[in-house]
Copies of this chain bind each other. A is one copy, B any other.
Amino acid sequence: MVLGRAEETTVTRPQTRRKDTRERIQHVALELFLERGYDQTSLREIAERLEVTKAALYYHFRTKEDIVTSLIEDIGRPVDDLIAWGQGQPATRATRREVLRRLNEALDTGAPVFRFLQENQAALRSRGSADGFRDRMRALGALLTVPDAGMVEQVRTLSALFTVYFGTFAASHMEGDPDEKRAALLQVAWEQLDAAHGYTGEDGE
């Protein structure tokens, strides 16, 4: 988008030994993984779009899976941090609201990778790449509930999580201002959270 200007003059830079090849690979790989799916995306395609050779990819990543792993790590860390933070806080309404708010925020940044994980679950499962991810989602869920919650309360909590999580993906297909949409997701999720915990607005926790 804001690239523009410099773009035009550079036509023949394939030879330019770049520093950022590793990141460029991650970027293009994610792009293609989203377009065509993980399994459908061959390293040849990634290399071609980058105008390097397949072997160059192998200089930077030991395997195809390694590329995916590096991608996941980048977004896994923020979520891990969030979980760690949440576990260190008292289990209050404020904490739960903050957890959802931060998740809502993290999803905004890492949306493409999250979507990739979401849409390629089966492909990644066999490779164990995304298994850690499922655990993280469960940990987040745990932060939002109370242990002795009834089934309906649990579902309401789950529902709040889904609203933020899946809502982010669905929202990208909806019209409207992105920030406004995000805010709406969070608001609704918060309502569900309050419903789950029987918070009516009168009594605090």
Show the binding face of A for B, using Cβ within 8 Å.
33-34, 36-40, 116, 118-123, 125-126, 151-152, 154-156, 158-159, 162-163, 166-167, 170-171, 174, 176, 180-181, 184-185, 187-189, 191-192, 195
Contact = CB atoms under 8 A, between A and B. Distances in A.
Contacts of A34: 122
A177 to B, nearest CB: 9
A69 to B, nearest CB: 17
A152 B187 contact: yes
- Most-contacted residue by chain B among A125, A156, A162, A181 (CB, 10 A): A162
A200 B182 CA distance: 26
B152 A40 contact: no
B151 A40 contact: no
A184 B155 contact: yes
Given A174-B154, A187-B152, A192-B192, A40 B123 contact: yes
Nearest to A124: B37
Given A39-B123, A123-B120, A162 B151 contact: no
Contacts of A159: 159, 162-163, 167, 188-189, 192
A144 to B, nearest CB: 13
